[in-house]
Chains A and B, each alone.
Chain A
Amino acid sequence: MTKAGLAVLLIIFLGTAVMAAFISYNLIATSSPPFRAYPSPFSKYVGQPLGEVQVNQTALASLVVSQGKVNGTTNNGVILYIPFNWTLNLTVYNKESFNLTVIMGDASYTVPTNSSMLISIPHLSEGNYTLLISGEDLTYQANVSVIKDLLSPYVYIGE
């Protein structure tokens, strides 16, 4: 019997025990009860869209207007895809030296220079909308597409 061998065996057994305890601790410490029980994601929902959701989901998007460009793009560069019946919370940041006018549908907003504004449009119905941003020599059109059965909101930024 050698002491070195004993040390090796002790490290193997104690190490395994310590690690089992460490893993258990982590599994417990990072476990939190689910909001409610959901069906397991094994195969049932693979590849299917989110489905009908009645609650008020919110899509966040931000448009930064700076140096004659919106999010670094020229006219028609941004398309927002929003699922049907969702709320769009759009923040427009005006980094220009002039005030901006934002028109979506019938509503019109004014975003003063060097400030931002949160534009909230609840319960979007299906269809294509244009979002017009203008001021001084800037005219920019972004597109909002509200689609039924869309999995999640999605921002397309073209170059």
Chain B
Amino acid sequence: MSIKDSIRLPWSPAIKLQQLTGKYFSQTTLGTSILFTAAGLVWLAVMGLAALFFRLILLNPYNTEAIAPIYYSLLTLHGYVAMYILVPFLTIGIGMYAMYKEEGMELTHFNLVNVLFWLANLGMVIALAGGPMTSWYITPPLGLLQTTFNFYSGPAIALTYIGLFITEACITAVAGITVFDGIRTRRNKGKLSIFPTYALTFTAMIVFTTPFLMATLMWYTLGILAHVYVNPTVAFLLFWMWGHPVVYFVPFAVFGALYAYIPKFAGRKLFSEKWARWNLFLLFVFTMLVWAHHMLVWPLPVWIRGFVNASTLLLAAGSGVTVLNLGLTIFLAKRYDFSDIRGLAYFLALLGFIIAGIPALILPENALNPIVHNTYYVVGHFHLMIWTIIILGSMGIIIDQFLNAFGRIAPLSNLSLKSIRAGLLLWFGSFLVVGFAMMAAGYQGLIRREIAYPVEFLPYMQTMTIFAWLGGIGFVLMAVPAFSMVTRWLVMKYYSGEVEQ
């Protein structure tokens, strides 16, 4: 029995509330998935702008400490938004979309999910208002130094950690609800198709790993407010228990889409569906085993180093077979459909994943890691991953999502299609240059997160900045058609008097 049936008074707050949620909350699975991916795109624009501006600061190799607070605040905004909210939002959005599209699985707790969504955004805003200058991971015990914060000071900086805690708690809950509702509403029998398998596995991984981050955040909060002792090594280990798996959330949700759609655009079967399913186990287990490779410059015993070295390379070998699987699928096909922008986006995502992944093979090598640890080499590697498999892969899925939701009423015009195609290529090309400039500079010793650096690296910095701005234009070329599509859809709906389904 719904609220409406039980309470009939017209002025009842319950009815008012229901009218409001009915009007402003997304009440469909497709709509909710767009809520998450679109919010992801908005946050992406915010963090991208932050990066474009701090890249301008980096054009000067002789910066002084005067500009440091601005630079590190922008850097922290960039990192916080990326890892704490953008990644989980994209993962959840893709997870919802995959289960809806491929299997007809539905969300059922719409109001709850909507409330949690807005709370997660609110938490992020609270965290960012604190503006700790700690970059994206909260280096213990640096995060506890109360003098390094912008707007809050003294014990109030605990608000930053509480804000992040709220965000992560909401995200964990939404991820749990998504998987739970999806499984409950599944009508098909047999194996789950490959896209939702991947997307939902990594949505579920949010539920398994984010509590580690929440524990760390709570520990800091208690450290600040109640002076509980925070052991840096234990806190760091705990942090990376989440901090490593989080980087796999989106890439492997996207891999589900690549497995499902690259064969469609190639017009043949996936080369080996068996491997695609086996690889999931490899990924799931090994993501949990390799996180200590972020700590290779810490005082760790040799046996841990040997284990991490081997397990990380094994994980890479698994990815090596994955890309071969998709590469052979395209190779053995008669043609690949580049005329479809989704086909192009998925192809560029795959190509980028290979190009970004191969140079990373030096990183887990213990004897070589010190050459590149904490340098731009690492920055170049993981940004190339982000720019290609994460952003371009998600773009492919989001275009599909938008076409599904708005395409019938507001189809993309030819100009829009051309603009998106140009945007994809400009983005890919520009950031390929930025990534390799970063890796070349890092290999020669350019340390990351520095505002003053040896002047011989200036040409590299100039290259990075110019091409990053070009890539930013690529994003605009993709965003404008998407925005106009949504606007057109809204206008059409308004005039046709259609009601939201």
A residues engaging B (CB < 8 A)? 1-2, 4-6, 8-9, 11-12, 15-16, 18-20, 22-23, 26-27, 30-31, 40-43, 46
Contacts and interface: CB of A to CB of B under 8 A. Distances in A.
B4 interface: no
Contact of B367 (A19, A22, A30, A40): A30
B491 to A, nearest CB: 39
Given A4-B338, A5-B332, 15 more contacts: A4-B347, A5-B327, A8-B327, A8-B350, A9-B328, A11-B351, A11-B354, A12-B327, A15-B354, A19-B361, A22-B362, A23-B368, A26-B368, A30-B371, A42-B303
B155 interface: no
Given A9-B324, A19-B358, A42 B331 contact: no
A46 B324 contact: no
B362 A19 contact: yes
Contact of B324 (A12, A27, A30, A40): A12
B436 interface: no
B330 interface: yes
B320 A19 contact: no
12 contacts: A2-B335, A4-B330, A4-B336, A8-B351, A11-B351, A11-B354, A11-B358, A12-B327, A15-B358, A16-B358, A19-B359, A46-B301
A41 to B, nearest CB: 6
Contacts of A19: 358-359, 361-362
Interface residues of B, number: 32
Given A1-B331, A5-B327, A30-B371, A12 B301 contact: no
A8 B330 contact: yes
B483 to A, nearest CB: 30
* Majority DSSP secondary structure for residues of A touching B: helix
Interface of B: 266, 301-303, 320, 323-324, 326-336, 338, 347, 350-351, 354-355, 358-359, 361-362, 365, 367-368, 371
A6 B358 contact: no
A15 B355 contact: yes
A5 B328 contact: yes
A42 B359 contact: no
Contacts of A18: 358
Contacts of B266: 2, 5
Contacts of B336: 2, 4-5
Given A11-B355, A22-B362, A30 B301 contact: no
A5 B331 contact: yes
Given A8-B350, A8-B351, A2 B334 contact: yes
B467 to A, nearest CB: 21
B331 A12 contact: no
A44 to B, nearest CB: 11
Contacts of B368: 23, 26-27, 30
Contact of B362 (A26, A31, A42): A26
Contacts of B354: 8, 11-12, 15
A46 B303 CA distance: 11
B332 A1 contact: yes
A11 B388 CA distance: 16
Nearest to A11: B354
Contacts of A8: 323, 326-327, 330-331, 350-351, 354
A22 B359 CA distance: 9
B320 A23 contact: no
Nearest to A5: B331
B333 A5 contact: yes
Q: Would you list the 10 A-B pairs with minimal beta carbon distance, nearest first?
A: A5-B331, A5-B330, A8-B327, A15-B358, A9-B327, A19-B361, A4-B336, A19-B358, A26-B368, A2-B336
B331 A6 contact: yes
Contacts of B361: 16, 19-20, 23
Contacts of B359: 19
A30 B367 CA distance: 9
B147 to A, nearest CB: 15
A37 to B, nearest CB: 16
Nearest to B329: A5
B277 to A, nearest CB: 21
Contacts of B328: 5, 9
Contacts of B330: 2, 4-5, 8
A16 B150 CA distance: 45
A27 B367 contact: yes
Contacts of A22: 362
Contacts of A46: 301
Tell which of B320, B358, B362, B371 has the most Cβ of chain A within 10 Å. B358
A23 B369 CA distance: 11
A5 B323 CA distance: 11
Contacts of B301: 46
B468 to A, nearest CB: 24
Nearest to A23: B362
Nearest to A17: B358
A9 B358 contact: no
A1 B266 CA distance: 10
A26 B358 CA distance: 15
A33 to B, nearest CB: 14
Contacts of A11: 351, 354-355, 358
B389 to A, nearest CB: 14
Nearest to B335: A2
A40 B303 CA distance: 11
A23 to B, nearest CB: 5
A144 to B, nearest CB: 27
Nearest to B347: A4
A120 B365 CA distance: 42
Contacts of A30: 367-368, 371
